[in-house]
Amino acid sequence: MAQHDPFMGVGDVEAPTPAPAPKKPERLLSLDERKALNWFKANTPASSNAKGLPKSEHRAVLMARCLIEISPERKRYDPISYSITGKGIEETNQRPAGAPEPVYKR
């Protein structure tokens, strides 16, 4: 008869992995952040000293949400240049929640 290993529990079962916590939905972009995103859509790539560049706090929100990025073509010591991402373009094409349906005139 095989001897029982004292370090091995009899009938031990792995504990189930806890379910991940539900993610908080992202808040909608503010009007100023949406204007900043539209500015980047119209002016990509934009240098860091471009005329009309949105405020840094709006750029930070857009970068945190991966809607804009520092241009990947940038080499070390080159000036910073911002580009809108594919996710940012999709966001600009969506109508904000609560916005009225567009009225098309014939």
Look over the chain and give the mean of its residue pLDDT values, rounded to a whole number. 77
What 3-state DSSP class applies to 8? coil
Quick: pLDDT tens for 48-60: 878 888 888 888 8
What letter does residue 66 receive in the DSSP assignment?
Answer: T
The percentage of the chain sitting over the pLDDT mark of 70, rounded to a whole number, equals: 76
Burial of 74 per CB tally in 10 Å (0-12, 13-18, 19+): middle
Check residue 1 and give its pLDDT.
Answer: 52
What 3-state DSSP class applies to 82? strand
| Domain covering 31-93 in this structure, CATH number | 1.10.10.10
Rounded Cα distance between 30 and 52, Å, is: 18
Domain ranges of the chain: 31-93
Average pLDDT in the 36-44 region? 86
pTM: 0.60
